[in-house]
Copies of this chain bind each other. A is one copy, B any other.
Amino acid sequence: MSNPNITLMTDLYELTMMQGYYKNPTDQIVVFDAFYRVNPCDGGYAICAGLEQVIDYIRDLHFDPDDIDYLRSLHLFEDDFLEYLRGFHFTGDIYAIPEGTVVFPREPLVKVIAPLMEAQLIEPALLNLINHQSLIATRASRVVHAAKGDGIMEFGLRRAQGPDAGTLGARAAVIGGCIGTSNVLTGKLFHVPVKGTHAHSWIMSFPDELTAFRTYAKLYPNACILLVDTYDVLKSGVPNAIRVFQEMRDAGIPLKGYGIRIDSGDLAYLSKMAYRMLDEAGFGDAIISASSDLDEYLINSLKEQGAKINSWGVGTNLITSNGWSAFGGVYKMAAIKNKNDREFTPKIKLSENTEKVTNPGNKTVFRLYSKTTGKIKADLIALEGESFDPEKDLTIFDPISTWKKTTLRGGSYSVRELLVPVFKNGLCVYHSPEVMEIQKVCKRELDTLWEESRRLMNPHQVYVDLSDKLYDMKKQLFEEMSLKEQQAHRASEDSAEKQK
Contact = CB atoms under 8 A, between A and B. Distances in A.
Given A9-B185, A128-B163, A133-B162, 5 more contacts: A2-B162, A4-B4, A9-B157, A28-B205, A204-B336
B264 A492 contact: no
A315 to B, nearest CB: 9
Contact of A350 (B155, B161, B232): B232
Nearest to A23: B219
A284 interface: no
A12 B196 contact: yes
Interface string A22-49: 0110101010100000000000000000
Given A13-B198, A167-B3, A182-B12, A20 B219 contact: yes
28 contacts: A2-B3, A2-B167, A3-B167, A6-B167, A8-B185, A10-B157, A12-B196, A16-B220, A17-B198, A20-B202, A21-B205, A124-B158, A124-B166, A124-B183, A128-B163, A131-B158, A132-B161, A159-B326, A162-B165, A162-B168, A163-B164, A208-B484, A230-B350, A232-B350, A232-B489, A236-B489, A264-B352, A316-B328
A356 B163 contact: no
Contacts of A188: 8, 66-67, 70
A402 B353 CA distance: 56
A231 B485 contact: yes
Contacts of A219: 16, 19-20, 23
A208 to B, nearest CB: 7
A165 B167 contact: no
Interface stretch (A209-217, A421-429, A451-459): A209-217
A302 interface: no
A134 to B, nearest CB: 11
A268 to B, nearest CB: 14
A329 B316 CA distance: 11
A488 B236 contact: yes
Interface stretch (A93-101, A142-150, A317-325): A317-325
A210 to B, nearest CB: 7
B488 A349 contact: no
Nearest to A333: B201
A12 B225 CA distance: 14
B16 A157 contact: no
Interface string A320-353: 1111011111011100100000000001011111
Given A13-B198, A162-B2, A489 B316 contact: no
Interface in A207-252: 208-210, 215-216, 219-220, 230-232, 235-236, 239-240, 243, 246
A193 B123 CA distance: 21
Interface in A235-294: 235-236, 239-240, 243, 246, 264-265
A11 to B, nearest CB: 4
A298 interface: no
Contacts of A133: 162
A326 B317 CA distance: 8
B10 A184 contact: yes
B195 A12 contact: yes
A168 B6 CA distance: 13
A169 interface: yes
Interface in A439-465: none
Contacts of A3: 1-2, 163, 167, 185
Nearest to A123: B158
Given A182-B12, A239-B489, A6 B163 contact: yes
Given A2-B167, A120-B201, A352-B264, A162 B162 contact: yes
A135 interface: yes
B162 A496 contact: no
Given A13-B196, A16-B198, A184-B8, A161 B158 contact: no
Nearest to A24: B215
B199 A13 contact: yes
A400 interface: no
Contact of A184 (B15, B235, B352): B15
Contacts of A116: 205
A129 B239 contact: no
Given A9-B167, A128-B163, A316-B328, A353 B322 contact: no
A487 to B, nearest CB: 10
A82 interface: no
